[in-house]
Structure 1
Amino acid sequence: MRIVACLNGDRRPGAHPALPVSVDQLVTDAHAVVAAGATAVHIHPRDPRGAESLEPQVVAALMERMRADGPDVPVSLTTALSAESDPWRRYDLVHRWPSPALPDSVSVNLHEPGSVDLVQLLRDRRVAVEAGVWTVDAARILVATGPEVAAVLVEPTQVAVEDARRNTEAIARVLDRGRVRVPRMLHGVDATAWPVLEQAVEEGLDIRIGLEDTMRLPDGTEAHDNAALVAHAVSLTRARA
């Protein structure tokens, strides 16, 4: 089972006292979550102002430091439109990411415009793609287009837990019918983060947790940092082993 620590997401700087934004903070946090049991990290790169960015120089600065000083685990980056709202400019930015500083994988949300072309670009650049599937329609896009992806990230965004579970089940049915056999990861967000993580553990799926997904522990108290969230997730996986 992969345990991915999603370190910052699109949360604004200051949303949580321990939210890592700068390269130094992200490298330090990556070491902490791996020590807590994470097997990979997922990062939204930030520019010097703390805003999400897919600019080549921002990605290069992050990845060079992660390779030099970070833990020896796979690094995934986002390509969400929250980081670059213009799909065509996003494509151009990713195309210009320097080869020596490419991440191990990236997530591509299939419901976003330009996603299929972006997947192909990344495959041409030999970067593994994790397909973000938020909806049944996104699952159908994956089945219909058949891009080569390394994993599927099932990401229900509904606020209510039961609604998120129904969406997850509907997505799974489409993927199963379409014979999508790659590994699946399942995660929720905020109020659904822990219930959906527990569901993923029960189903033997890969999991992720971190301040991108929730800033609280299951009892509702604020988590001290990403490492605290990962440590609790690891304890849940061991309890069900």
Structure 2
Amino acid sequence: MVQVCLNGRRGGADGACVPLSPEALAESAAEAVAAGATEVHVHPRTPCGRESLSPRVVSVVVDAIRRRVRVPVGVTTGAWAEPDPETRLSRVRGWDVLPDFASVNWHEPGAEEVAEQLIGRGLGVEAGIWSGTDGAARFAASPLAPKVLRVLAEVTDQDPGTAEASARALLAEIGSAPGARPVLLHGEEGGTWPVLRLAGRLGLATRTGLEDTLFLPDGRRAASNAQLVAEGLYQYGCAQRSS
């Protein structure tokens, strides 16, 4: 499974190829799915471009994407979009148009409460476990660990020379959690492609898209999420065949 991460925390300064409006996100999602993506991950934004977990903003974005694709659509619940844990929980509780899943970063304050609310409403939860945080330890001790959809293993090491080793260390940490769940392994920036290839060799789900990188493996700037997905599938397949 290769998920496309459409936009993340990027903005207009990152180039015209980064989709921001509901219409642009839906178009980019459709192109990425046509290129082979099997899921969509998105950071909903207000009309002025600010990330938001507001029910109105989430519903407009999720509806727009669902009109164009027939694959699962997930959203972030990152604390940067709503720093106050109680407000974040209130926002999630108010969602009236529900995505298929949402990512919850386990090292963030209030993560378990948000995850519990999502699970209670029937949504899948991607447990975001970031390298360099105490997320893996917190997740291992959580009674919710066996109930999540999967673990989203995020390698924050952006050095292409060390990202694979960091990924292996993170996977070892995650392995201590009770009730083993499927793992989606991915990197970011300079670590994107080494970690994606490792996911291929290990047979793990992965993701790519403009949230994680603006560049192709050869250093050229990517023109779209679809181009990154097509290249990701190629790299993933080559890694699988070489393992």
**Normalising to structure 1: TM-score of the pair?**
0.94
In structure 2, distance between residues paired with 1:113 and 1:163: 29
**Structure 1 stretches of at least 4 aligned residues deviating more than 6 Å after TM superposition:** none
For 1:45-64, what aligned pairs fall within 5 Å after superposition?
45-64=44-63
1:118 aligns with 2:136: no
Give the superposition deviation at 1:177. Answer: 2.9
1:105 aligns with 2:104: no
Give the superposition deviation at 1:162. Answer: 4.7
Match of 1:12 in 2: 11
Match of 1:146 in 2: 143
Match of 2:219 in 1: 220
In structure 2, distance between residues paired with 1:179 and 1:96: 31
Rate the CA distance shift 1:165–1:226 in 2: closer, same or farther, 3 A: same
Are the counterparts in 2 of residues 41 and 76 from structure 1 also a CA contact under 8 Å?
yes
1:33 aligns with 2:32: yes
Q: Percent same amino acid among aligned pairs?
A: 40
Give the number of aligned pairs. 237
Give the superposition deviation at 1:82. Answer: 1.8
Mean Cα deviation higher: 163-172 or 104-113: 163-172
Residue identity in the other structure for 1:10: R
For 1:1-241, what aligned pairs fall within 5 Å after superposition?
2-67=1-66, 69-98=67-96, 101-135=97-131, 137-147=134-144, 148-239=147-238, 240-241=240-241
Are the counterparts in 2 of residues 10 and 82 from structure 1 also a CA contact under 8 Å?
no
- Cα RMSD over matched residues? 1.4
In structure 2, distance between residues paired with 1:48 and 1:195: 35
Give the superposition deviation at 1:178. Answer: 2.9
Give the superposition deviation at 1:39. Answer: 0.3
Are the counterparts in 2 of residues 187 and 193 from structure 1 also a CA contact under 8 Å?
yes
Give the superposition deviation at 1:63. Answer: 1.8
Give the superposition deviation at 1:64. Answer: 2.1
